[in-house]
Amino acid sequence: MNLTSEVTEYMDELIDIRRHLHQHPELSFQEENTKKYIADYLENLGIEVKKDVGGNGLLGYIKGGHEGPTIALRADFDALPIQDEKDVPYKSTVDGVMHACGHDAHTASLLITAKILKNHEKDIHGNVVLIHQHAEESLPGGAKSMIEAGALNGVDYIFGTHTASHIEANKVGFCSGPAYAAADSFEIDIQGLGGHGAMPQLAKDPIVAASSLIVQAQSIVSRTIDPLESAVVTFGTFKGGNAFNVIADKVQLTGTIRTYLPSVKEQIKERLNGILNGIESSYGVKCHLNYHDGYPPVINHKKETEWAKSLAAEIDTVEEAYDFPPSLGGEDVGYFLQHVPGTYFFTGVGNETLKANYPHHHPKFDLDEQALQNSVKLFLSIIEHSSELEQ
């Protein structure tokens, strides 16, 4: 087999699928039309499809004609609550909803991969599970529920990709070990005693208390965590107060904590609780922390990462397969990698000339669609060389 050589003839279809999905985005847990589109496409190819897996997720099964491992390929398909501001023919038709993170491209790439694999299923060593995952963008995410519904049953390895507009098109990045962080969130409610702005002695000001908390929290990473470890504590919102001359009664803060190691997460939580106790004592207020464990870190397996990188380096349209630094962003693909070995790689789609250099989650996010062939080619190469994983 030389499956990667066939991708060129499907490029127009790949782009058409991506643009269709881009024009018809759906938010997490609301992907009814998208899942139908995916299911119809796979079934028209003659691929067995299992629907409503853990929610709106779908599984496709391709059974090879020879013995070999079972490999899962994963793509997500939900969109974001962002207004599309691009001036392009394939602009989102749904007000306030947009594929601003490349999930439309992930889905299109996996569908074309499925089409080519189905044409050659008798030559495949092992089996392929196509994981089309819903709800990556919103907690609790779709990966965990899909796993609980049996998405990884019989799967030996898993591979997936994320487009990256900050990587030049025709480059592919690989990160062995921690690639994305655990993405937790929190709310802190501070109850004070409201009063007149001219008589602060009669009030207990939660805004001043919250301000002190924010400043003290900046020392958690710099003075609690080992400098050789990575972590982030970010406050995202500060809500409280209704008038310039009124001391607020209560304040709410929200934010996120990003870590790679569970031990570091526990250190941060312990230190944050300690600061809150001090705030209560110092300002006479009451503090309540509501902490939400988010997605686990994405930990790529070394052997599978290096192997996939070596395959990418042999692809004719990949200019460079290189080591990509880890990020403190979050992704629920980490759930899959907790259960079976594999890797999550980064397909470069950035192209300044095409205005495809805006960051992910930006209202003008776009990508170099020609670069999507590299996702397809690497998926195909992984399946074509799958027997090497067993050596």
Q: From CA 252, how far away is CA 235, in angstroms rounded?
A: 11
Please tell me the predicted confidence (pLDDT) of residue 391. Answer: 77
Same domain, residue pair 204 and 171: no
Annotated binding residues, written as ranges, equal 101, 103, 137, 162, 361
Same domain, residue pair 289 and 310: no
Same domain, residue pair 234 and 258: yes
Mean pLDDT of 125-130: 98
Please tell me the predicted confidence (pLDDT) of residue 130. Answer: 98
* φ, ψ of residue 274 in degrees (nearest 5): -65, -40
Annotated active-site residue in 31, 136, 332, 369: 136
Which one has a higher pLDDT value, 1 or 54? 54
Q: Using one digit for the tens of pLDDT, what is the confidence trace for 54-111? A: 999 999 999 999 999 999 999 999 999 999 999 999 999 999 999 999 999 999 999 9
Same domain, residue pair 301 and 290: no
Same domain, residue pair 347 and 376: yes
From 279, 295, 311, give the residue that closes a domain: 295
From 244, 277, 295, give the residue that closes a domain: 295
* φ, ψ of residue 87 in degrees (nearest 5): -105, 75
* φ, ψ of residue 366 in degrees (nearest 5): -155, 180
Q: Using one digit for the tens of pLDDT, what is the confidence trace for 186-219? A: 999 999 999 999 999 999 999 999 999 999 999 9
Same domain, residue pair 319 and 287: no
Annotated active-site residue in 78, 104, 156, 331: 78
pLDDT value at 390 more than 90 = no
Same domain, residue pair 205 and 150: no
Please tell me the predicted confidence (pLDDT) of residue 105. Answer: 98
Same domain, residue pair 286 and 315: no
270 noted as active-site residue: no
304 noted as active-site residue: no
pLDDT band at 244 (very low <50, low <70, confident <90, very high): very high
Same domain, residue pair 162 and 28: yes
> Would you call the peptide bond into 140 cis, given omega within 30 degrees of 0 as the criterion?
yes
pTM for the model stands at: 0.93
Annotated binding residues for Mn(2+), written as ranges, equal 101, 103, 137, 162, 361
For the chain, list the strands marked E by DSSP. 48-53, 57-63, 66-76, 125-133, 157-168, 171-174, 177-180, 182-191, 195-196, 231-239, 246-247, 250-259, 286-295, 298-300, 320-323, 342-350
Q: Using one digit for the tens of pLDDT, what is the confidence trace for 51-65? A: 999 999 999 999 999
Same domain, residue pair 19 and 53: yes
Residue 310's domain comprises 3-178+297-390
From 247, 279, 295, give the residue that closes a domain: 295
Tell me the DSSP string of 30-80.
Answer: --HHHHHHHHHHHHHTT-EEEEEETTTEEEEEEE-SEEEEEEEEEEE--BB
pLDDT value at 1 more than 90 = no
What is the tally of structural domains in the chain? 2
